[in-house]
A and B are shown apart, each in its own frame.
Chain A
Amino acid sequence: MMAEVANIKNAVSPNEILFVVDSMTGQDAVNTAKAFNDRLDFSGVVLTKLDGDTRGGAALSIKYTVNKPIKFISSGEKMDTLDVFYPDRMAQRILGMGDITSLVEKAQEQFDEEQAKKLEKKIRKNKFDFADFKAQLEQIKKMGNLKDLMGMIPGVGKHIKDIDISDDSFKGIEAIINSMTPQERADPDLIDSSRRRRIAKGSGKDITEVNSFMKQFEQMREMMKNMNKMNMFGKTMGMRK
């Protein structure tokens, strides 16, 4: 079979020869890549089935082993689940730094670019508030592949990995945010315990649910803050070189 592919290669000199490999197969994926590359000298790798329970070995060692770049990643059976591969973003995701860049980009594809920029700026300035959160929920709901998208928000990925997320899961959160005043949405620090009680009543939620949502939101903001620090740190290190 490989001989035949090599014949096709010789006959039509392709611009790109992409080697497709199932990321679930780990070390085997790497060995197969090596065999194909020895024979075909392909130009890039496509990792598939990243939506499955893959441990990461293939993604981490293919480039090292065959010295060919991963060009695309495929994570689902639907036709829009293809992404260009960015090593740095993947590294950030692995470290739970979220993937705000990808999130912003996905949003840009379908929504107003201007708005996405504003959001990124707010995150950088640590001004992310409930109004932004709500706007994001609205957008995310329309984007499909909910859990994946949520996983890209810094600090959220870990919390949702065992949760089955459907659109309904957002209804509670939305109810809570809807029961806040515009001032409260814009200034989360304003929300003290008596305000929380009022919000709980207004949204028909338990006070503990409101509290735990507030806490999660706080954690998310904390993560964003850390991420900002990390980025600034990266720049300083860059200058010293």
Chain B
Amino acid sequence: MFESLSDKLESAFKNLKGQGRITELNIASTVKEIRRALVDADVNYKIAKEFTDRVKDKAMGEKVINAISPGQLMTKIVKDELADLMGGQESSFDAKGNPAVILIAGLQGSGKTTFSGKLANYLKTRKGLSPLLVAADVYRPAAIEQLKIIGDQVGVDVYTEEENKNPVSIVQNAV
């Protein structure tokens, strides 16, 4: 996963090898390489720039601790900032209610049907819930068939109204 980004970040930290401490001067090329690595990973420039500005500020603000090499320090700072950028804390998932309703949306081909099966499987096997899959994609009859197959695979019922072309009423009836 993200191998090219990993490799580029690793080589950015290599610049700091052999340096005793971080200085404005020796950090410059590392910061630039980190920014380029992010842009190459398809992060937009503004986000990448803000990211490396923060990394640089943090790195310059750190006290020098002998046991920690500049490379290790940068790795730690970048790790924290990456985690922050991706959301910081783990988020919650609300499946309370009788029934709890989870609406799944997205472009065609993004993986909604597949994910729905996986989520139903997850809720059933890991959370001990009894999910019901509801087919509300009325434009593609094949999509209903696909959902049935996936429901079958994970042992979860699939609710369909194949004559009904109104997704709102299908969902209301199911609930």
Contact = CB atoms under 8 A, between A and B. Distances in A.
A74 to B, nearest CB: 5
A79 B1 contact: no
B150 interface: yes
Interface in A41-87: 42-44, 46, 48-51, 54-61, 63-65, 69-72, 74-75, 77, 79-82, 84-87
A122 to B, nearest CB: 23
A13 B2 CA distance: 36
Given A22-B110, A36-B106, A79-B118, A4 B1 contact: no
Contacts of B25: none
B2 A56 contact: yes
A27 B82 CA distance: 17
Nearest to B82: A91
A1 B140 CA distance: 12
B103 A16 contact: yes
A71 B91 contact: yes
A15 B72 contact: no
Contact of B105 (A15, A17, A69): A17
Given A57-B43, A79-B154, A20 B110 contact: yes
Contact of A21 (B1, B110, B150, B153): B110
A46 B96 contact: no
A123 B73 CA distance: 22
A11 B101 CA distance: 11
A104 interface: no
A233 B72 contact: yes
Nearest to A86: B90
Contacts of B132: none
A105 B87 CA distance: 21
Chain A: interface size category: 35 or more
Interface in B58-102: 68, 72, 75-76, 78-80, 82-91, 93-97, 100-102
B28 interface: no
Given A17-B105, A20-B106, A233 B121 contact: no
A226 B72 CA distance: 9
B136 interface: yes
A230 B4 CA distance: 23
Residue of B101, B150, B172 with most chain A CB atoms under a 10 A cut-off: B101
A43 to B, nearest CB: 8
Interface residues of B, number: 67
Contacts of B111: 20, 22, 46, 48-49, 74
A86 B111 CA distance: 20
Interface stretch (A94-102, A178-186, A189-197, A216-224): A94-102
Given A16-B101, A94-B9, 19 more contacts: A1-B139, A4-B168, A9-B103, A11-B168, A14-B103, A15-B102, A22-B111, A44-B91, A48-B114, A55-B2, A58-B42, A64-B47, A74-B118, A79-B153, A80-B118, A82-B115, A82-B119, A94-B82, A96-B10
20 contacts: A11-B168, A15-B94, A17-B105, A21-B106, A22-B110, A50-B1, A55-B41, A56-B1, A56-B2, A60-B86, A61-B43, A69-B91, A72-B115, A74-B114, A81-B118, A87-B83, A87-B90, A93-B1, A93-B6, A94-B6
Interface of A: 1-2, 4-5, 7-9, 11-22, 26-27, 30, 32, 36, 40, 42-44, 46, 48-51, 54-61, 63-65, 69-72, 74-75, 77, 79-82, 84-88, 90-97, 151, 157-158, 161, 226, 229-230, 233-234, 237
